Amino acid sequence: MGILGCAAAAALAALAGCYAPSLRDCTVSCTAQDDCAGGQVCGSDGMCASPEVAGHCVSASPDAGLERDAGMPADAAAPDAPATVSLRVQVAGKGSISVDGYGVCSSLDPNHGDCTYDVALRVAQRVRALPIQLDQVFGRWTSPTCSGQGAICTFTPTAATNIAASFVKAAGGT
């Protein structure tokens, strides 16, 4: 296929063979496997990426709340930016923290309330502090990220983030 034919096919995202094999992960949107370059798959997030990254790309759509350089095409994620960041969740006392869309970290788990999740970079996250025993209540967030918020905390990670909550005996609890 000539250069002109390949350019036309790439523009239509119809032939994956026209993309350079060194295409960076998370730079081309897709709706089917045929939209992606060799070695890449179409992730659940609608972005082409290597199998180990697929589904964890940061969406560059305006709805995702990401800012894009005016010159950056809609298909492109920020160059060399990680698609996810580490969210460390710590529970003090008898409680759990639910990380919406990712899981629950509980003081009763084998990891004793010290969990790590890979969450989307620059995408709003919501965590909820939940007591796991009737005589316990949410005390407070002990990490700066959620400090001053109630049992539900919303934040947008721009780097690795720590979230910690403490649970205490309820007034009149035994």
The DSSP line for 125-174 is EEEEEEESSTTEEEEEE-STTTTT--SEEEE--SS-EEEEEEEEEPTT--
Q: What is the pTM of this model?
A: 0.53
Say whether both 90 and 155 belong to one domain.
yes
Domain that holds residue 45: 3-64
Say whether both 146 and 94 belong to one domain.
yes
Where is mean pLDDT largest: 7-16, 25-34, 50-59? 25-34
Q: Is the pLDDT reported for residue 141 higher than 80?
A: yes
- Say if 142 falls within a structural domain: yes
- Say if 74 falls within a structural domain: no
Say whether both 152 and 98 belong to one domain.
yes
Say whether both 101 and 29 belong to one domain.
no
- Say if 77 falls within a structural domain: no
- Say if 148 falls within a structural domain: yes
Mean pLDDT of the chain: 76
Question: In 10 A of CB 12, how many CB atoms?
Answer: 10
Strands (E), 1-134: 41-42, 48-49, 84-92, 95-99, 103-106, 114-120, 125-131
Q: What is the pLDDT of residue 58?
A: 59
* 120 HSE (CA, 13 A, CB side): 21
Say whether both 111 and 47 belong to one domain.
no
Say whether both 43 and 93 belong to one domain.
no
Q: Is the dihedral of CA 99, 104, 105, 106 positive or negative?
A: positive
- 49-108 pLDDT, tens per residue? 777 777 776 543 333 333 333 344 444 444 555 589 999 999 999 999 999 999 999 999
- Say if 10 falls within a structural domain: yes
Given a contact cutoff of 8 angstroms between Cβ atoms, the answer to whether 28 and 18 are in contact is: no
Q: How far is CA 95 from CA 21, 74, 162, in A?
A: 48, 42, 17
Query: How many domains is the chain built from?
Result: 2
Say whether both 53 and 108 belong to one domain.
no
Say whether both 89 and 163 belong to one domain.
yes
- Say if 152 falls within a structural domain: yes
CATH number assigned to the domain comprising residue 146: 2.60.40
Pairing of strands 125-131, 95-99: antiparallel
- Say if 79 falls within a structural domain: no
Domain end (from 33, 64, 95): 64
